[in-house]
A and B are shown apart, each in its own frame.
Chain A
Amino acid sequence: MDLVDVAITFAVALGAFALWLVGTALLIWGERRVIALMQTRVGPNRLGPFGLLQTVADGAKLFFKEDIAPRNIDRFVYLGAPFVSATVALVTFAVIPYGGTFQVSGREVTLQVWDPNIGMLWILAMSSLGVYGIFLAGWSSGSKYPLLGGVRSSAQLISYELAMGLSLAAVFIYAGTLQASQIVANQQIPLFELGPIAVPAWHVVPMLPAFVIFFLTSVAETQRPPFDLPEAEGELVAGFHTEYSGAKFAMFFLAEFMNVITFSAVMVTLFFGGPSGPLFGPGWLQALLPTVYFIAKVGIFLFVFIWLRGTLPRMRYDRLMDLGWKVLLPLGLFWVLATGFAVVLRTSTDQGTVLRIAGVGAGVALLLYLAAPLLARRPRRDTQPEPEPEPKFPTPSR
């Protein structure tokens, strides 16, 4: 570790930072343009080529706006909440590889800020921390709409965190590692070959249910439509950030869009081979191509996020909870068990024993499933249906 290494690490970190910040600005612009196209509008097209600088102008405006704070706030928490949200959103992407490996003056450089062996746990941990920013904002605003928004969002995020963790667990079991770079490397092996084309073993193929769960939960985790209940403007005005303005609001805004990019990047890393893709051409191109592939793959997911917003109305809060707890969570559990079984079966030397144990387990599960209606506590019901009451609403004299 010498000065050059420090410089390289710094440059890689700066690169990631720039990629995410510029990406966020582009995403906000792109969302407005794409939604506009879907709705036969034009969208922002004034500042810069194609209106690309619109986000910069909006951001500048927000930072120069008067900073209004209501009187009955918990000042410390109120001021801290946006920082929690923004910081957490920023540090999440440190573990995501956003490019390939290449040589710079004899040293190997990998475009990934940090590659710890608990990489994916870092993402889970940080996205869980993100709840605090939102919940504390809602609670400290001293206002009712933000409070409702904060309660909604913490319930929503915690519920979907479970299903998300399970879908990730399945991938970890399958890949046998938590390290982002290893997970990417695990997807390089060809799954099968179609003539000259080798279909890479992207996890999306064997882990399709996990991908579906992860995709749905990440829409909920990023609070994008149709799961944007914490800030449902039709109901809660602006949800948890109703009382925020200026730079503090900009941080929430930034955090939300940055999370969209981060989760798209996680999806690409876990299920779509990260920055991998066919390499060709001269050395500089080979060094550049992985980053291009990465950005392109992330871009597709960003488009899907925007597409969802253009198509779907907002879900209702209790339905969202039903989806999380009654559909995604059981599905995730089942898929973790199935993946574990498959992996153990593949690696075990004594497959007969594994199958016997699994068979006993499946039998017990089936019995429990069949017995569940008998064991469940039934709600007490009167045997006689209640007679129709006389109408109590005022009726005109007849």
Chain B
Amino acid sequence: MSDLQRPPASGAAWADESDRDRAPARPREHTVVGGDWQELPNVVDDDLMIINMGPQHPSTHGVLRLVLTLDGERILDTRPVIGYLHTGIEKNLEYRPWVQGVTFVTRMDYLAPLHNELAYCLAVEKLLGITGDIPERASALRVLLTEFNRVASHFVWLATGGMELGSTTAMIFGFRERETILDLFEEVSGLRMNHAFIRPGGIAMDLPDGFVPRARTAISALRDRIGEIEDLLTENPIWIERLTGVGLLTAAQCLDWGVTGPVLRSAGVAHDLRKVTPYCGIEQYDFHVPTTDTADAYGRYLIRMEEMRQSLTICEQVLDSLPEGAVMVADAKIAWPAQLALGPDGIGNAQEHIDRIMGKSMEALIHHFKLVTEGFTVPEGQVYAAIESPRGELGYHVTSSGTNKPYRVKVRDPSFLHIGVLPTMSHGLQVADIIVAVASVDPVMGGVDR
């Protein structure tokens, strides 16, 4: 632990008294370096208290552990501890064919499963060199699904954040509206979460019949509900008071720490990968990137609410201009051989396909077998593909050694980087405020630990 990080020996080091009861207007410069856990503050002489918030705590978004050094209710030091949800997904990817990777990555940031799938697939497609061959309909549906997913993720953020601030109604509202979107996802992919629906080369199957009008109804319903939530919270004096000036992080600090997403945009930087490096033809839709200059939790709240509206606008435009055609690349050496269909026992391989490989064509059977068990090979090389997930830049650095499995998949998960700035954001706040600060960066531990 460096000297900068060490809490002052007595209360005297605080600039002045007004500093004590309110967060400083300018965030305190604060260095966090890799520290030695043997070095602990002198709790006895300095009247400090070290408290473990988490890994089992109602407000740490799963299993984040924060070791807080407290002076009364003031936080002098925060040390985030991660690893309690380590799943080994990144390592596991190296032992599975490329297509099966989708099933793994969707479980990392479990609130944005489709974003993980999309970023992974974009990277694999880049390696395969088929980025230009993806059918337009597949790209449009990818945009539709990921934008819906963004709204669902923001609803969970609202629900958990509201719950942590004691607003149970916000919690119920958030989860209730999210169900609308999960129902749509279930209709499309058969699963509410962890869809493994976006595959290298396209998407697993086309939309079911009658999906478009139902999606339109859902969008208009969601618009109303977002308005309802805004009525409840945006002007609520306690809500404003709890969020304003909490979790300050300036634009410079955001850039230095690699912070992206709503946290960066709340500091006034209109950086959104959908605009900066558009993917899946998202540049043809009309939307704007909301920003605020407050750099605090309230700004992030406003940004997320507006982003939900913008995402719904995108979804509407996709539905309006949905191109016809295939949803998977034409290359039969990459495209999954079978189309899925609803059978008497649930979703499975389409009956015609089974008839064909089992009854008519030996070559088709061999092809199916090879592609399903062994998978396709990907040329040697390494690429980085990034998209704008609900939490920020979600990047996949994928290396291939030319085999049917990845050599290495390194994920740049925004939550991981955002956990790193918690000490900076929470320095000098109160215990109640760190809850708001954590909620405002919206970390998902599944993505952090991988």
Question: Is A313 in contact with B242, judged by CB distance below 8 angstroms?
Answer: yes
The interface residues of chain A lying within 8 Å CB-to-CB of B4 are 392
Contact of B176 among A40, A148, A309, A312 (CB under 8 A): A40
Question: In this complex, which of B169, B239, B241, B257 has the most chain A Cβ atoms within 10 angstroms of its Cβ?
Answer: B169
Closest to A316 in B: B432
- CB interface residues, B 240-266, toward A, < 8 Å: 241-242, 252-253, 256-257
Closest to B424 in A: A393
**CA separation between A236 and B59, bound complex, in Å?**
9
Closest to B59 in A: A234
Question: Is A317 in contact with B432, judged by CB distance below 8 angstroms?
Answer: yes
Q: Is A310 an interface residue when CB atoms closer than 8 A count as contact? A: yes
Closest to A39 in B: B172
Known: A39-B169, A317-B430; 20 extra A-B contacts, CB below 8 A, are: A35-B169, A39-B173, A39-B176, A148-B51, A232-B432, A234-B58, A237-B58, A312-B167, A313-B165, A314-B165, A314-B166, A317-B73, A379-B17, A381-B16, A392-B4, A392-B29, A392-B30, A392-B31, A395-B256, A396-B256
Tell me the smallest distance from the CB of A159 to a CB of chain B, in Å: 15
The interface residues of chain B lying within 8 Å CB-to-CB of A319 are 241
Counting chain B residues whose Cβ lies within 8 A of the other chain, the interface size class is 35 or more
Tell me the smallest distance from the CB of B247 to a CB of chain A, in Å: 13
Q: Is B238 an interface residue when CB atoms closer than 8 A count as contact? A: yes
**CA separation between A337 and B369, bound complex, in Å?**
91
Question: Is A39 in contact with B168, judged by CB distance below 8 angstroms?
Answer: yes
Contact of B238 among A40, A236, A313 (CB under 8 A): A313
Question: Is A316 in contact with B30, judged by CB distance below 8 angstroms?
Answer: no
For this complex, 14 residue pairs linking A to B, each with C-beta atoms less than 8 Å apart, are A39-B172, A39-B173, A144-B49, A148-B431, A152-B73, A229-B432, A235-B164, A236-B431, A314-B242, A318-B73, A379-B16, A393-B29, A393-B424, A395-B256
Tell me the smallest distance from the CB of B180 to a CB of chain A, in Å: 13
Question: Is A234 in contact with B165, judged by CB distance below 8 angstroms?
Answer: yes
Question: In this complex, which of A38, A228, A234, A396 has the most chain B Cβ atoms within 10 angstroms of its Cβ?
Answer: A234
Question: Is A311 in contact with B232, judged by CB distance below 8 angstroms?
Answer: yes
Q: Is A233 an interface residue when CB atoms closer than 8 A count as contact? A: yes
Question: In this complex, which of B4, B73, B241, B253 has the most chain A Cβ atoms within 10 angstroms of its Cβ?
Answer: B73
**CA separation between A12 and B241, bound complex, in Å?**
47
Question: Is A313 in contact with B162, judged by CB distance below 8 angstroms?
Answer: yes
Counting chain A residues whose Cβ lies within 8 A of the other chain, the interface size class is 35 or more
Question: Is B169 in contact with A226, judged by CB distance below 8 angstroms?
Answer: no
The interface residues of chain B lying within 8 Å CB-to-CB of A393 are 29-31, 253, 256-257, 424
Across the A-B interface, give the 8 residue pairs with the lowest CB-CB distance, nearest first.
A314-B166, A39-B172, A234-B164, A313-B167, A313-B165, A392-B29, A234-B59, A316-B432
**CA separation between A318 and B73, bound complex, in Å?**
10
**CA separation between A391 and B257, bound complex, in Å?**
13
Tell me the smallest distance from the CB of B30 to a CB of chain A, in Å: 7
Q: Is B370 an interface residue when CB atoms closer than 8 A count as contact? A: no
Tell me the smallest distance from the CB of A265 to a CB of chain B, in Å: 26
Tell me the smallest distance from the CB of A10 to a CB of chain B, in Å: 42
The interface residues of chain B lying within 8 Å CB-to-CB of A233 are 58, 166
- CB interface residues, A 281-316, toward B, < 8 Å: 309-316
**CA separation between A38 and B424, bound complex, in Å?**
38
Question: In this complex, which of B4, B253, B432 has the most chain A Cβ atoms within 10 angstroms of its Cβ?
Answer: B432
> What are the interface flags for A329-359 relative to B under an 8 Å C-beta threshold, 1 for contact and 0 otherwise?
0000000000000000000000000000000
**CA separation between A339 and B95, bound complex, in Å?**
81
Q: Is A394 an interface residue when CB atoms closer than 8 A count as contact? A: yes
The interface residues of chain A lying within 8 Å CB-to-CB of B164 are 234-235
> What are the interface flags for B159-192 relative to A under an 8 Å C-beta threshold, 1 for contact and 0 otherwise?
0001111111110110010000000000000000
The interface residues of chain A lying within 8 Å CB-to-CB of B21 are 318
Q: Is A389 an interface residue when CB atoms closer than 8 A count as contact? A: yes
Q: Is A225 an interface residue when CB atoms closer than 8 A count as contact? A: yes
The interface residues of chain B lying within 8 Å CB-to-CB of A226 are 166, 238
Tell me the smallest distance from the CB of B376 to a CB of chain A, in Å: 38
Q: Is A65 an interface residue when CB atoms closer than 8 A count as contact? A: no
- CB interface residues, A 228-260, toward B, < 8 Å: 228-229, 232-237
Closest to B163 in A: A234
Contact of A232 among B166, B253, B424 (CB under 8 A): B166
The interface residues of chain A lying within 8 Å CB-to-CB of B173 are 39
**CA separation between A315 and B16, bound complex, in Å?**
24
**CA separation between A393 and B255, bound complex, in Å?**
11
Q: Is A41 an interface residue when CB atoms closer than 8 A count as contact? A: yes
The interface residues of chain A lying within 8 Å CB-to-CB of B17 are 379
Question: In this complex, which of A152, A318, A379, A396 has the most chain B Cβ atoms within 10 angstroms of its Cβ?
Answer: A318
Q: Is B433 an interface residue when CB atoms closer than 8 A count as contact? A: yes
Closest to B15 in A: A386
> What are the interface flags for B53-69 relative to A under an 8 Å C-beta threshold, 1 for contact and 0 otherwise?
00001110000000000
The interface residues of chain B lying within 8 Å CB-to-CB of A144 are 49, 51
**CA separation between A286 and B18, bound complex, in Å?**
61
Tell me the smallest distance from the CB of A147 to a CB of chain B, in Å: 8
**CA separation between A313 and B163, bound complex, in Å?**
8
Question: Is B242 in contact with A315, judged by CB distance below 8 angstroms?
Answer: yes
**CA separation between A392 and B256, bound complex, in Å?**
11
Closest to B72 in A: A151
Closest to B252 in A: A391
**CA separation between A250 and B58, bound complex, in Å?**
21
- CB interface residues, B 132-174, toward A, < 8 Å: 162-170, 172-173
Question: Is B57 in contact with A237, judged by CB distance below 8 angstroms?
Answer: yes
The interface residues of chain A lying within 8 Å CB-to-CB of B172 are 39-41
The interface residues of chain A lying within 8 Å CB-to-CB of B51 are 144-145, 148
The interface residues of chain B lying within 8 Å CB-to-CB of A310 are 168-169
Closest to B50 in A: A144
- CB interface residues, A 146-161, toward B, < 8 Å: 148, 152
The interface residues of chain A lying within 8 Å CB-to-CB of B253 are 393
Question: In this complex, which of A152, A233, A235, A237 has the most chain B Cβ atoms within 10 angstroms of its Cβ?
Answer: A235
Tell me the smallest distance from the CB of B395 to a CB of chain A, in Å: 17
Tell me the smallest distance from the CB of A143 to a CB of chain B, in Å: 10
Tell me the smallest distance from the CB of A41 to a CB of chain B, in Å: 7
